[in-house]
Amino acid sequence: MGNKKNSTAKMHFACAIVFIIFVYCYLAFYQADVLAVAQHVLSDGKTDYSYTVAPLLITLVLYVLHLGVYALTQVKRRFHALTYFPSFLILTIITDIPTDVDIHHSLGAWWIVAPLCLLAFGGAVWVIRQLEPLEQEPHSSGWLSKYMWLNLFQMVVMIVVMSFVASNDRLFHERMKMERLMKQKNYAEALKVGRKSLQTDSSLTMLRIACLHHTGELADKLFSYPLVGGSKAMLPDSVTVKSLMWRSHRWMQEPTDSMKMQHLVYRKPEDYKLCALLLDKKLDQFVVALCKHYDVKTAKLPTHYKEALTLYIHRRSKPVIEYHDNVVDTDFQDYQQMEHKYTNRQEMQTAIRDTYGNTYWYYFDYCSK
C-alpha cells in the first residue's frame, strides 16, 4: 500500500512540475509581448505589463485553481492530469489574443465555448469518479508506472491543443516584440527580430523602417529586410499599417484638421522621402530628388543610393546623369551574369536572393512593391 501511495504521489509531483515549468516559460518567453499589448490596449495605455511579476502571478493562480479542482473532484489516478484542464482552459482564453486586439477585444466565441468545455469536463469527471474505485492497480510503480505515463501524455495533449488555439501568429509576435524593444529605444535589437524570415507585413515594414531611421542605416540596410507595401508602409495609417504599443513620431502621423485647413503637412526626413521613391521603384524621380540633395560625383553616397544609381544608368538609354562606382559596377555585372546562368527561373531567383537579396537590385526586379 505504501508503494502505491508513493507511486501516486510521484505522479502528482511530476504533473505539477510539468505544469508549473511549462506555464511559466510559456508566459515569460513566448506570450509575454502579446499579453503586454493586450494590457496596453485594455487599459488604454494607462498601465504596463510586468514581464517579471505577471508570469509568476498567473502561474501561481492557475496552480492554485488546479489544487481547488483536485480537492473538489478527488481524481487521483489514471486521469489525475484532467484536474489541470480548467487551468489550461483559462490560460488558453487569456492568451488567445487576436491580431486586431485594438479593434476587437472581447471574449468572442469563448462566451459559448468555455461553458461547454466546463460542462464536458464536469461530465467526464463524474464518469471517472464512478469508474476509479473499480480500477485495478498497475503492476509497475514509481517514476515508470503506467499512471505516470498516462497522465504525462494527457498533459502533453492539453499543452499541444492549447498551443494551437492560443495566439500563435508569428508575425504578430514579432511585431509586438519589436514594439517592446522600440519603446525601450533599443532599436538595434529590434532590427534583429525576424530578420532572416522571408515573411513580413506592412506594420513590420513600418517598424523596421523607423528603427533603421533611428540607427542611421535606412539608406544602407533597408533592402536587407523583407519588405511589403511600398512607400505606403512607411507611415502608419491605423488600418493596415499601425503600431499598438510604440508611439510613432508626430511627423509620421496624419496632419491635424487645422493643419489640413491651412494645407500644411509634417516635414519628413530626407532619407524617408528618397527611400519612399525607391520602394515604389520610381527610379527617374529618385535620381532627380537625389541630385537636389547630393553632388553624386563627389558625395559619399549610402549603399542603396549607389545601387539605385547604378541600376538607373544601366536601365536607361539616355540617363540624365553619369555615375560610376567600380565596386558597385563589378557587383552589378556579377548580378547580371547570374541572371543568365540558370534556365529555371525559380532556381535563378533563389540563387540571386542568396547572394544579392540584400540589394536594391533584387528588390527592384523580384519583389512586389
Same domain as 7, residue 142: yes
Assign 1 a pLDDT band (cuts: 50, 70, 90): very low
Closest CA to 58 of 78, 41, 38: 38
Max mean pLDDT among 6-15, 42-51, 83-92, 193-202 falls in: 83-92
Q: How far apart are CA 328 and CA 17, in angstroms?
A: 58
Residue ending a domain, among 116, 142, 167, is 167
Task: Tell me the C-alpha distance between 295 and 303, whole Å.
Answer: 15
pLDDT of res. 257: 64
Structure confidence by residue, pLDDT tens digits, 335-344 = 999 988 888 8
Average confidence score pLDDT of the chain: 89
Give the mean pLDDT of 113-137: 85
**Most confident among 53-62, 122-131, 258-267, 312-321 (mean pLDDT):** 53-62
pLDDT band at 260 (very low <50, low <70, confident <90, very high): low
Segment 31-39 mean pLDDT: 95
DSSP 204-247: HHHHHHHHHHHHT-HHHHGGGS---SGGGGGS--SSSS--SSS-
Q: State mean pLDDT over 265-294.
A: 90
* 141 shares its domain with 29: yes
The Cα–Cα gap between 50 and 54 comes to: 5
Q: Using alpha carbons, select from 352, 161, 369 the residue that is nearest to residue 280.
A: 369
By percentage, how much of the chain surpasses pLDDT 90?
Answer: 64
40-62 pLDDT per residue, tens = 998 988 888 999 999 999 999 99
Q: Which of the residue ranges 16-20, 166-170, 196-200, 267-271 would you say has the lowest mean pLDDT?
A: 267-271
Task: Show which of 167, 185, 206 is a domain's final residue.
Answer: 167
pTM of the model: 0.88
Q: Please indicate, yes or no, whether residues 57 and 123 belong to a single structural domain of this protein.
A: yes
Range of the domain at 91: 1-167
Regarding whether 109 and 51 lie in a shared domain, the answer is yes
Question: Is 79 in the same domain as 159?
Answer: yes
| Number of structural domains the chain divides into | 3
Q: Are residues 32 and 142 in the same domain?
A: yes
Residues 59 and 140 in one domain: yes
Same domain, 290 and 261: no
Q: Are residues 148 and 194 in the same domain?
A: no
**Residue 247: predicted pLDDT:** 86
Instruction: Identify the pLDDT of residue 52.
Output: 94
- CA–CA distance from 19 to each of 40, 63, 151, 160, 211 (Å)? 27, 8, 12, 13, 38
**270 and 288 part of one domain:** no
Residue 102 has pLDDT above 70, yes or no: yes
Residue-wise pLDDT for 202-216, tens only, equals: 999 999 999 999 999
The total of other beta-carbon atoms located within 10 Å of residue 217's CB is 18
* CA neighbor of 239 nearest in space, from 43, 41, 102: 102
| 132-185 pLDDT per residue, tens | 766 666 555 555 678 888 999 999 999 999 999 999 999 999 999 999 999 999
Together in a domain, 134 and 181: no
State residue 295's pLDDT score: 85
Looking at the fold, whether 267 and 336 belong to one and the same domain comes out as no
The last residue of one of the domains, among 167, 201, 217, is 167
